[in-house]
Every structure is written in structure tokens, then in C-alpha cells.
Structure 1
Amino acid sequence: MELPTYTKSQLALRNGQDKPQVWVAYKGLIYDVGESRLWKNGKHYEHWAGQDLTAELADAPHTETVFEKFKVIGLLS
């Protein structure tokens, strides 16, 4: 199945506030993190949903394997 592509502005709306979806992007893939209690209301510590977190992962206390538990729902254009 081919994944839909979303722009950064479309991703930005999926922040748990403007729209109910809670999505984040990492290395060109968009993940649905809405099921995670750590992303309640679209906020995860100092990070907000609806953004590309690729550059911010270096500062996180975890590695990119954290994304394996979330469903990939699209590609970031």
C-alpha cells in the first residue's frame, strides 16, 4: 500500500489542538503518536506534535527505536 504524502503545513494541523490527530515526522515518515499517553494533548515534554522532530531527536533521552511502536501513516513532502 502506498502511503499518502503530507506537506509541513498539513502536518502542522495534526498537533492535537487544531485537529484531533497527533502526528509527528521523523526522517521523512509521519507517525501517529495519538495513542501514546506521553503525547497527551499533542505535547511531549518540550516538544509539540505536528512537527518534524528529526533534528530534535539528538537531544532526546531515547533513540529513534522509540518510533517503532507507532504506526507510519504518511510521508512528509
Structure 2
Amino acid sequence: MKEYTRAQLALRNGQDREEIWCAYQGLIYDVSPSRLWKNGKHYEHWAGQDLTQELSAAPHTDGVFSRFIIIGKLK
């Protein structure tokens, strides 16, 4: 599985490129297909970063990531 740095992940924020990626527990997910991540923002959360610490404040579980393709690993 390909590895990406935090800087490479940050470029996939829905603003700099078309890809909208988020990391969770060391894995990077492509959330581009979700209308809830339009323009790289989902409520108060921003794409292009590791959301592991932020998930505890979400109204859903980490099962939500099963809907998305894993792109790679976070270095």
C-alpha cells in the first residue's frame, strides 16, 4: 500500500486539487464521492488532515469510513 506524508495528504483538501482525502488511524480514505465533504469541509472538519482525534466529537462511529476507498497509509 502506498504511503503518503502529512504534506501530501494536506494537498488533497478539496481546495488545491480535486481529490478530497482524510486520514483515520493511519489509513487515508478518499471521501471525494461524498456530498457531505463538498469543497473539502464536513461540518467543522476539514479534509487533507488526520481526523483520528476529531472522531470522538462526531455523531457517528468510525464505521462511516467503510463507505470509502482506502488510498494508502499515512507516514
Q: TM-score, normalised by structure 1?
A: 0.96
Structure 2 residue identity aligned to 1:24: C
Structure 1 partner of 2:55: 57
Q: Deviations over 1:24-59 (max 9, x none)?
A: 000000000000000001000001100000000000
Which of 41, 48, 58 aligns to 1:43? It is 41
Q: Which runs of 4+ in 1 moved over 3 A?
A: none
Query: In percent, how many aligned pairs have the same letter?
Result: 68
| Other structure's SS at 2:72 match | strand
Structure 1 gaps of 5+ residues are: none
* Cα shift at 1:19: 1.0
TM-score of the pair, normalised by structure 2: 0.98
Query: Alignment RMSD, CA only?
Result: 0.4
Q: When the two structures are aligned, how many residues end up with a matched partner? A: 75
- The AA in structure 2 aligned to 1:38 is L
Structure 2, unpaired ranges of 5+ = none
